Amino acid sequence: MLDAGLVCHLGVTVDGAPLVLPTGYGRIGDVLYLHGSSAATSLRAAEATPVCVTVTLVDGIVYARSAFSHSVNYRCAVVHGLARRVDDGTEKLAGLRALAEHMAPGSWGHVREPTRKELAATLLLALDTTEASVKVRSGPPGDEDDDVATAQCWAGVLPVVTTWGEPQPCPQLEAGVAVPGYVANRS
């Protein structure tokens, strides 16, 4: 499930109030890596304090026969824990690579790797996913029998489908650079 999401929502406590921000992530085994600017308040606030990372996939809208039974089909993973700042150079590069491979699979071997200065400007957090919980809602509406018997309206699920559009080359890209397979055929 974590592998199927694109961004997660990172929840931290800043000055006693919750802050929830979308964040890229990657995974190596049981460890989730999140990154951002070393200057980002939310990420700095996440160091060594309890955080919550939530990845949600919306699969469909459930049209029921009663307003009360309207619902959403979704999958959601919620990870709680203490985030650890990654300072070790080897783990940091591996974590950033996992992040890049999650967000833009296949690209790492083709792009310039981070410089020492870029690494210093990047804050990488590691979070153990062994305390994750998963919630899933799937299938047709769960209407009461009375509503099934008497309702006149349509009921069912309208799937939400997420696909890739046509790749848009960078305006500064030299003519003739083909769209690579890892972009054109991304699954």
Q: Is 87 in the site for a second copy (CB under 8 A)?
A: no
**Out of 90, 130, 168, 187, the residue judged to bind a second copy by CB under 8 A:** 168
Q: Is 47 in the site for a second copy (CB under 8 A)?
A: no
Task: Work out how close the CB of 65 gets to a second copy at its nearest, in angstroms, rounded to a whole number.
Answer: 6
User: Site size for a second copy, by CB under 8 A?
Assistant: 85
Task: Work out how close the CB of 168 gets to a second copy at its nearest, in angstroms, rounded to a whole number.
Answer: 5
d(CA 141, CA 69): 7
Q: Is 51 in the site for a second copy (CB under 8 A)?
A: yes
**The amino acid at 12:** V
Nearer to a second copy, 80 or 85 (CB): 80
d(CA 44, CA 54): 18
The DSSP output letter for 47 is B
CA nearest 98: which of 73, 67, 129?
Answer: 129
Distances (CA, A) of 57 to 12, 160, 166: 21, 10, 22
Question: What CA dihedral angle connects 57, 63, 64 and 65, to 10 degrees?
Answer: 170
Q: Is 152 in the site for a second copy (CB under 8 A)?
A: yes
Show the binding pattern over residues 109-128: x = contacts a second copy (CB under 8 A), - = does not: -xxxxxx--x---x------
Task: Work out how close the CB of 58 gets to a second copy at its nearest, in angstroms, rounded to a whole number.
Answer: 5
Give the phi and the psi of residue 132 in degrees, each rounded to 5.
-85, 145
Q: Is 169 in the site for a second copy (CB under 8 A)?
A: yes
CA nearest 111: which of 103, 92, 163, 29?
Answer: 103
**Out of 4, 88, 136, 140, the residue judged to bind a second copy by CB under 8 A:** 140
Contacts with a second copy in 10-39 (CB under 8 A)?
A: 10-13, 16-22, 24
